[in-house]
Amino acid sequence: MARISIDDAVLDISGGEPRLLGSRCRACGTHTFPVQSGCVRCSGDDMETVRLGTRGELWAWTVQAFPPKAPPYLGDTDRSTFEPYGVGYVQLPEVRVEARLTEARPEHLKNGMEMELALVPLATDDDGNEIVTFAFAPSGGAT
């Protein structure tokens, strides 16, 4: 059994440390997430793919309390076993990223808190491989 990224173009788990992939505009330095072929600021198309930082500040968040529509959602859609999860925007050094959060309890989430990239299992494919997606976890334990 192997661990497989939900999307190699978004989440690179090939190295020792998982990293999100984004784009950087060679003309003006603007970053995007996910990878884009054009720059949102200067409309240039000279973009390079870069590995984004793994730590940032929680900017805004909410809790997903019921299963999203499947497809495209690959996780558990059974309302009796579905576990709520947090969703938020994390301000990385380069760009703000929308992501799942490992923490779903509102009393443990606060705007401005430090977050770090984490992998969470999402599903198992027909070959028994574990499909993982990215999330952000509060860093340094409880606040």
Q: How far is the CB of 36 from Zn ion (least distance, A)?
A: 10
Which of positions 80-109 make contact with Zn ion (CB under 5 A)? Answer: none
134: phi then psi, degrees, rounded to nearest 5: -100, 155
Which of positions 28-57 make contact with Zn ion (CB under 5 A)? Answer: 28, 30, 39, 41-42, 44
Amino acid at 43: S
The sign one gets for the Cα dihedral 79, 85, 89, 95 is: negative
Residue 25 in the binding site for Zn ion (CB under 5 A): yes
Distance of CA 121 to the CA centre of its chain: 13
Residue 27 in the binding site for Zn ion (CB under 5 A): yes
Binding site for Zn ion (CB under 5 A): 25, 27-28, 30, 39, 41-42, 44
